[in-house]
Each structure stands twice: as structure tokens, then as C-alpha cells.
Amino acid sequence: RGVGEFRFGNAILGDDWPQFLLRESAFYPHEKAVTGEGEWHHFAVAYDDRAKRIAGWRDGEPIGTVDLSTTAMEPLRRDGLKSISVGAGFSGFLDELRIYDRPLGDDDVRRLHAGERATFAGRDDAVDASRRLRVYSYEEPDRTLYRAWLQHRPLAPPKSRDAFARIVAQGDNPTVQNAARELTAAAREMLGTGEVVTEPHAGPQVVLGTPVTSAWIRARAAALGLDAVRDDGHVLKAITENGATVVVVAAQRPAGVVFGAFDLIRRVQLGTDPARLASLENPGVPLRMVNHWDIWRGFPHDDWRGREDEPDDAEGNRSNSIYSWAELRRGDTRRIRDWARLLASAGWNAVCPTEINWEFRNNFLDHLDEVKTLAGIFREYGITLYWSPNYLLALRPDVAARLYAAVPDFGGYLLKLGSEAQEGDPRPAMVNRIADCLRPHGGKALVRAFVYGKNRYSADDIRNLNPYDIFAPADGKFRDNVVIVSKGSPLDWDFSAPIPALDGAIRRNLYGTEVVIAKGWPLSWVEKWKWWLEQDNYRGGPGSLNKRGLHCWLGVAMIHPAPAWTACPLNMVNYYGLGRLGQNPDLTVDEIYTEWIRLTFGDDPDVVSTIKSILRLSDDATRKLYIYRGYRGVWIDLRETRQLVQRKTPHTITREGIGTATPALRERVLGQYAPGLRALYGDPLRGEEFLPSFNFAPFDHLLTSGRTVIQDIYANLDEGARLAAELPR
């Protein structure tokens, strides 16, 4: 009778399902949906009107026949098949339902089962033996891309090489002990020497620790200047005792010791003489988090089977995760440990390994033993673990209590509330209730200010006006363990765009920014986000740079199991560079590029200059191809004839020009910024870089380049293509 009259009903879900089913795609294992042996089966049922029978098969084999010879068939013939239901005792769920227009026989069902068996058999991360995996093989001879900037190439030994023969880590703190192991492993590769010992001696040595973990460092805390160390900062200092060189890596927190050890490794690899060290490094941003937009693997029915269906979508495919519950249970954690090492060595100190949109397969509460294992791995590298729950779980004090009972140093929640398909309210009333659940445990609630979609918390549905309208008036009304995290561009992660209006507007609560670390194409975002850090938001008058007063630097990651971790080897510059900027926002782009290239690919001047050229040219090409003077589009709206774009933003393209849709909207957009930026952005001449973001520009408007707007639009595309063609090959 057609799809319109067919009803599919499901009766297996209990009343508590809505707290998990916040996305239509979350039809995965509820406790009531996975019972018994937890295996997949292929069922088939055939209703044969002519033979007057119903036949059933399981996994290609007949399991029963119902005789309909005495049944009145006319109602079925007249009305057709209208519904399918499962019995009251059914426990499980349907992955796929197919309806054929003829009765199937034994041969048909066996053929179908044989063709699909590999799809469902061993869905717990199993891959058909005939498939070639798109995952890293540790047996591959070239490990350069996998090790990234931690190559530890052999060096001509410095005079202070002898100090690395004994690397001292007193006490039993796991983070400090791991720092010593990492430094020792690097020293053996770079210098051919290194051994971890537990007590200092009178000769050359490296000593690591804090005043709590090391009596030796505690006795010299004043001389080392430890009173100047903040958060997870560290001191690197070479001192002379009894005529011998002692290299000291000291911090106030164990995490600072790890970051100090990797800082020492980096400096030695780049040619610094350890005997000349005298450095105090305090982090520019206290919380430096990587958020993996991942759906975890390790379920009997996950969607990850090493497929090659979409090779270009490997990066950004959220099911293509390095995280697996099954691997954590088995202790197969090498890849996660290798990733934690890379993050810590670049300066990241927090991780949220779960998709920001609620996904049942990422539910920490169902896997607390595995979460404990994961937190232990990251803890050894000074990295704190966070989670993205749905709002109903986040509102429950018992949920926080269970998490902190398993992981006492758990960081807290990263929350997407009331945006897109996610429920919840991002305003103080609900956010503070969530924060109060975390407060007794010392946790933080990070709330994304990227709020738009079906739930309206401001008067308009204009996407890039909402964050300011919602959060700026509420500044100071959130708890002190709440961090408001804005996207780094007004609309989304736009490669070239003005700064968001919310920058600098949150002054009484903690504030952070969310940046994309890498996309699927070869491109450095380092220059873009360095630019953002140096921008003046004018909220406290001229000189109110974004990099000052920033509490959180949140980077979104889309890595996957692959030799280079990303879709392109050059994309790892972003994980290194943005981590380094979080630690030290004053670094220049050239300094970061030079460090990363030399650490990853070696010191050959031609290699360094060639890769720098690629990074800078790809930056310029993308800027011209991806966006026009801060205007990102185009959302075509076929229902509207007057304007050519859908009104998700205050901007439009018409037959006359491009820019703000109406004078009233122009005033609303500019009105969200501080007076200093309002004067800059609102001036068509001074604000020409982002002209259509704040002004309506007719296509014949003359730019300072001598081109009209319409000429400039086309010329930018031509120039972007030309720059791409000039990339070194």
C-alpha cells in the first residue's frame, strides 16, 4: 500500500529512554536492547499468499513454518501489509528492515545471509579478513609520520651529555616518574645515554620533581625561583654543584614536570646546550584542551570496520576513532598512550575524548573501569580527563559522584546546551545547577556559547548574533567554576573572519575560545588562530588583546587511526602549533613553523624552507578560495526570491550586492562590539578587510585595490587557484 500507510512501531524502549535518546541516530545499546549473547542475527520471514504459509529463517536456516491453509486470506489481500510488530518477549533492536514485493524462498534467504554475514559477524571492531585496513601498522618501516615531532634524532653530544646518564625522580608520583621515563627514552636516542634513578648523587645529573615529590628540589626551591611558577608551569635551570653540572626540571605540580621534561627534550633536539639553561615557563592559558569529535568504537555493533567507502572522509568521520572500549578492556592502549605523549609534548593539558553532541556509545557511566584506565594514561602525561554528557545526566549529583569516585582528578564536563539537536538551557539557571554538581569535587563546567537551532534563547534566529545576546547580559551570573567558551569566529570556524562580539565581553566569569585544530585538507590554522590571539577587542579600552585573560584554549580534533594521525601529514603542524600557542601565545608563526619542521623532518635548510613555503602558500590560497572578506556562504534558499541566501546570518547576497541585509541588522551587528571595534569594522574604508560582514557593498563599490567588489570576488578565486598551483611539488 506504500510507505505512507505503513506503520513501524517499536515497543522495546522503557520510560527512561528519553534521557539517552537525544538524537535520532542514538538507537544503540540501551540496557534493554542488548541482552542474551549480544550477537547479531539475520532473520527472514516470508508470507506466501499462494502457498498459504508463513516461513521463517534465522542466519539462513529455516526455523519454522505457519500453515495458513484454513485461514481466511481475503482481508490480507484486500488491505495489504500495514504493520510489523515484535513479540512481547523480544529483546534487541533492528539494524535494518527490508520489505520485498514477493515471497522469498530458501535459496533467496541463504544468498542474502551469505552476502551480509561479513557485515554483522563480530561487529566488535572485527574486520573481514579480505579487507585492507585503513589503520596504522606498527610494522611499517617508516615511523616518521606517526612519531610526528618526537623523532629524537641522534645528536653530536654536548659537553653536558654526562648529566643525562643519571635522571633522578624521587618519590612514587606516577606523573613525575613518567616524565623521567620519557626524558630517559629521548636521551638514549638523542645522546646515547640515560638511566632513571631514585636518589641524587654528587656528580652530573638531571633532577626532576616538585617540592612535594623531591626533597632535593624542596631544599633548593628558593634558588630555583619556584615561587614564580604558576599553574603547570616549570623551571629549567642548569646549576653547578660540587663542580658538576646538574640540570633541573622543577614545577609546583607534577603536570608541570612532564611539560618541563618535554620542553627540555625539545630544546636539546633543537641544539640548545643544557648547561646554559635558565628558563621560567608559565602557561599563557591555564586550560588547554583537545576535544575529540569521536564516537567510540568497541561495541558489538559499532559502525567502524576499517571501511574504505569514503577515503577522503577519513578525517572528520566521527566513527573513525582512536578510542575503543574493547581495546581499553583488553589493555590494548599503545595508540592512546602514543597520542597522549604527543599532546603533552605540545603543551595540551586536558582532553575530552567524546563527541560534543550526546552519543550513547560515549557514555562514561557504562564503562567506569575503562574510564579509570584512560584517565590513568592521560594523568601520567599531565592531562586531565573531561566528558561531554547530555544535560539530564549533567544535572544529577549522583552522576558526578560516580565519576569522581572512579577518577578523583576528573576535570568536569564540556557541554553543548540548547543548540542544534542538543537539549538543555545554556543560561545561568540550568548551567549553575550543573556546576553545583561538580563544585564539591573541584570540577569545571565548560559551556559552549555556540548556541543556535530549534531552541530559541534570544529574540532572533540569526545565528551569529545569538552568543552575545545570550551570554553577555549574563556575565557574572554564572558560578565561578563555569567557563563560557565561544567559537573563534562569529559564525563558525571561518578561515578569515572578524573576531566574535563575545570576545572580551565576559569579564566576571571565566572565558575561553574554541578553535578547529585541523580539517581534512592540507592547511595550517596556526596563522589564523595566532591572528585571533593578537586581536584587540577593546572591551577594556585599546590594548585589550584576546590572548590576555583567556582561561581556556579549546581545540577540536578529528584524528583517526592512520600513520600520520590525520588525512595529511602537514596537518600535524596544527596540533603542535596550537598547543604551543596555548602555552605561550607570544610565539610567532615563524618560530612555531621552524620548530615543528626541524623536529619532524630534520634540519636540512631546503626542507625547512620548502615546507614553510607550502604552509604559507596554502594559507593564502585557502583564505582567497574559502571565504570572501569575512563573508561565509552561501546557504541557498529556494523559497525566497528577493534574497539569494537563507537568513542564518545577518548577511545576504542580492542581485545588487553583498553584505548586511538591512540597515537595522547592520546596527545590531555593530552594536554588539566595543566602540573601538565598532568604529573600525563599521568604516567601509578602514574595515575593508571584512567589508561585507558589517556593511552592504554594492557590486560596483570601488575598493582600495582599484577593483570593484564583483571584480574582487572573481579575482580572489583566480588568485587562490594560482597560489595553489604554485605550491612546491
What pLDDT score was predicted for residue 628?
78
Q: How many CB atoms lie within 10 A of CB 422?
A: 23
What pLDDT score was predicted for residue 461?
67
**How many Å apart are CA 313 and CA 319, to the nearest integer?**
11
Identify the H or E element spanning 574: helix 572-583
**How many Å apart are CA 205 and CA 3, to the nearest integer?**
76
pLDDT along the chain (729 residues), means of 10: 38 33 33 47 85 87 85 75 62 65 89 77 44 41 79 87 94 97 97 94 95 97 97 97 95 98 97 94 98 81 42 56 89 93 98 90 91 98 97 94 98 92 89 98 97 68 86 97 96 87 96 89 88 96 95 93 78 96 98 97 95 92 81 51 55 89 93 96 94 94 96 92 87
What pLDDT score was predicted for residue 179?
98
**How many Å apart are CA 289 and CA 291, to the nearest integer?**
6
Enumerate the H helices of 91-233 as residue ranges: 106-120, 144-147, 174-191, 215-219, 221-224
Listed in order, strand segments (DSSP E) in 42-195 are: 43-48, 53-58, 61-67, 83-84, 167-169
Block residue for cell numbers 551469505: 114
Q: CA geometry: angle at 571 spanning 565 and 572, to 5°?
A: 60
Instruction: Give helix 589-601 / helix 254-269 axis angle, nearest 10°.
Output: 80
What DSSP string runs through 592-610?
Answer: HHHHHHHHHH-S-HHHHHH
Give the HSE-up count for residue 475: Cα atoms under 13 Å, Cβ half-sphere.
15
Long-range contacts of 11-14 (CB under 8 A, 24+ apart): 11/85, 11/86, 11/88, 12/86, 12/90, 12/91, 12/92, 12/93
Cβ pair 249, 260 in contact under 8 A: yes
Q: Is the peptide bond before 634 cis (omega within 30 degrees of 0)?
A: yes
Cell of 322: 582512536
What pLDDT score was predicted for residue 70?
82
Give the HSE-up count for residue 546: Cα atoms under 13 Å, Cβ half-sphere.
28
Cell of 325: 572500549
DSSP tally for the chain: helices H, then strands E: 22, 22
Cell of 394: 549533567
Q: Is 89 helix (H, G, I), strand (E, B) or coil?
A: coil
Contacts of 568 (CB under 8 A, 6+ apart): 315, 520, 521, 522
What pLDDT score was predicted for residue 422?
82
Q: Is the peptide bond before 258 cis (omega within 30 degrees of 0)?
A: no
Q: In what order do the strands lie in the sheet with 697-698?
A: 651-653, 657-660, 697-698
Give the HSE-up count for residue 719: Cα atoms under 13 Å, Cβ half-sphere.
15
**How many Å apart are CA 631 and CA 118, to the nearest integer?**
47
Per-residue DSSP letter, 567 = S
β-strand partners of 168: 197, 207
**How many Å apart are CA 611 and CA 602, to the nearest integer?**
11
**How many Å apart are CA 531 and CA 513, to the nearest integer?**
13
Cβ pair 557, 293 in contact under 8 A: yes
**How many Å apart are CA 432 and CA 438, to the nearest integer?**
10
Q: Phi then psi for 10, rounded to 5 degrees?
A: -130, 130
Q: How many CB atoms lie within 10 A of CB 631?
A: 25
Cell of 434: 550543573
Instruction: Give the type of residue at 655.
Output: R
Block residue for cell numbers 619532524: 600
What pLDDT score was predicted for residue 644?
42
**How many Å apart are CA 336 and CA 661, to the nearest integer?**
48
**How many Å apart are CA 498 and CA 650, to the nearest integer?**
14
Q: Considering only CA atoms, which of 103, 105, 119 is closest in space to residue 60? A: 105
Report CA Rg, the chain: 29
**How many Å apart are CA 80 and CA 78, to the nearest integer?**
6
Cβ pair 381, 150 in contact under 8 A: no
What pLDDT score was predicted for residue 411?
99
Q: Is 568 helix (H, G, I), strand (E, B) or coil?
A: coil
Cβ pair 28, 301 in contact under 8 A: yes
What pLDDT score was predicted for residue 227?
97
Q: Considering only CA atoms, which of 352, 134, 381 is closest in space to residue 259? A: 381
What pLDDT score was predicted for residue 439?
98
**How many Å apart are CA 23 and CA 33, to the nearest integer?**
17
What pLDDT score was predicted for residue 214?
97
**How many Å apart are CA 249 and CA 256, to the nearest integer?**
9
Contacts of 33 (CB under 8 A, 6+ apart): 12, 13, 91, 92, 93
Three-state secondary structure along 466-523? HHHHHHHHHCCCCCCCEEEEEECCCCCCCCCCCCCCCCCCCCCCEEEEEEECCCCCCC
Q: Phi then psi for 357, rounded to 5 degrees?
A: -80, 135
Question: Which domains are seen in the chain, by residue range?
Answer: 3-120 (no CATH), 152-281 (3.30.379.10), 287-587 (3.20.20.80), 628-698 (no CATH)
Cell of 255: 603536570
